[in-house]
Amino acid sequence: MIRSLLHIGMTVPDLEIGRAFYETFGLEMRASGNDYVFRCPGRDQDQIRLMQGSKKKLSYTALGTNEAGMEQLLRKLREANVSLQPPPFDVPFGGIWFQDPHGDWLNVQVAEPAPAGGSVLPPEINAHGRYRRIGKRACDISTRAKKARPLRLGHLIKFSPDVPASTAFYTDVLGMLVSDKSLDILAFLRGAAGGDHHMVAFAKSTHTGLHHLSFEVADLDEIEIGAQTMIRAGYQDSFGLGRHVGGSNYFHYLRDPWGSLIEYFWDIDVIPEGADWEPIDAAPHEVMFVWATTPPPDDFVLNFEARD
């Protein structure tokens, strides 16, 4: 049923602090009523809606499906006694609204995600035995001036006080599929029609909140050019460069101004619809990374979002 991640909504105490952070990260801002909406350059798709509020909170997640998926979802929601609600936020888009088992708002729309903007051709790589870049430089002096250009919001990890219960709801009712997990601590879920290894994941905590948002970039250079730009601008480094096991993607995480994380990623596993995919179920550190330039900081798994 759920086929895509469209965007997320977040309440923050200071929209201008958010604007500076996400613009430095590489997103573009436009005003929408009283809110600030951020998109990837050249892509006709909202990715983050920042709304003014007294404290920072992941307010909702907007997901996409098709007509048949919406019919099936409405039936599943009825069977699970989940009632549809009027829009809880003053937002200019449609779709249905309901809450997950821990009270987090979900919006589902019949919508296809927009294609990424600009050229997204992968870099040519000279891997031994498959040299593809012949007679061409990978880097020249202009490479130093390159900027991270986020292509799309790929996934988010939400904190959950009960990861198995969250997983059961998102699989049984929303039709998502488990790609990998770690005991009752972590679960990575992909869409019903396949795609990225994970679109939504859950990490155990005392209460709900946002662990991180993750944006795809074009290559490994952009992960580090982006991360180093953020650090030079005074934002807090967190974890990376490294490579995950769950998803296999290269990563670098930075702290956002409110204590959640934002990730640049490249080279994630893609799982086709109907694949015979065997999930890993191992200790968190085994699922988390193959290697990283530094160990994860102690606060990497902490939930800084206040309880309601």
Give dist(CA 37, CA 34) in Å, integer: 10
Beta strands at 105-110 and 57-65: parallel, antiparallel or unpaired: parallel
Cβ of residue 70: shortest distance to Fe ion, in angstroms?
27
Q: Is the dihedral of CA 177, 181, 187, 190 positive or negative?
A: negative
Joined together, the tokens standing for residue 22 give: 């996400």
Q: Name which of 105 and 250 has its Cβ closer to Fe ion.
A: 250
Q: Is 191 helix (H, G, I), strand (E, B) or coil?
A: coil
Residue 156 CB partners (closer than 8 Å, separation 6+): 5, 8, 58, 61, 200, 201, 210, 211, 212, 213, 214
Q: How far is the CB of 157 from Fe ion (least distance, A)?
A: 6
First to last CA, the chain: 30
Q: Which residue has the tokens 């900081």?
A: 297
Q: How far is the CB of 81 from Fe ion (least distance, A)?
A: 32
Tell me the residue type at 260.
Answer: S
Q: Which residue number is nearest to Fe ion in terms of Cβ?
A: 214
Comparing CB distances to Fe ion, the nearer of 180 and 263 is 263
Question: Which residue lies nearer to Fe ion by CB, 208 or 214?
Answer: 214
Tokens representing residue 229 in the block: 């730009």
In the bound state with Fe ion, the residue whose beta carbon lies nearer, of 38 and 215, is 215
Which residue number, 169 or 266, has a Cβ lying nearer to Fe ion?
266
Q: What angle in degrees, to the nearest 10, is found between the helix axes of 15-25 and 220-232?
A: 140
What CA–CA distance (Å, rounded) separates 159 from 147? 31
Q: Whole-number minimum distance, CB 260 to Fe ion, in Å?
A: 12
- Compute the distance between CA of residue 148 and CA of residue 82 in angstroms, rounded to an integer: 41
Contacts of 75 (CB under 8 A, 6+ apart): none
Phi, psi of 32 (to 5 degrees): -135, 100
Q: How far is the CB of 214 from Fe ion (least distance, A)?
A: 4
Q: Which is nearer to Fe ion, 160 or 214 (by Cβ)?
A: 214
Q: What's the closest the beta carbon of residue 66 comes to Fe ion, in angstroms?
A: 26
Closest CA to 95 of 113, 82, 78, 107: 107
Interface with Fe ion by CB under 5 A: which residues?
214, 263
Shorter beta-carbon distance to Fe ion: residue 5 or 91:
5
As measured in angstroms, the least distance from the Cβ of 7 to Fe ion is: 16
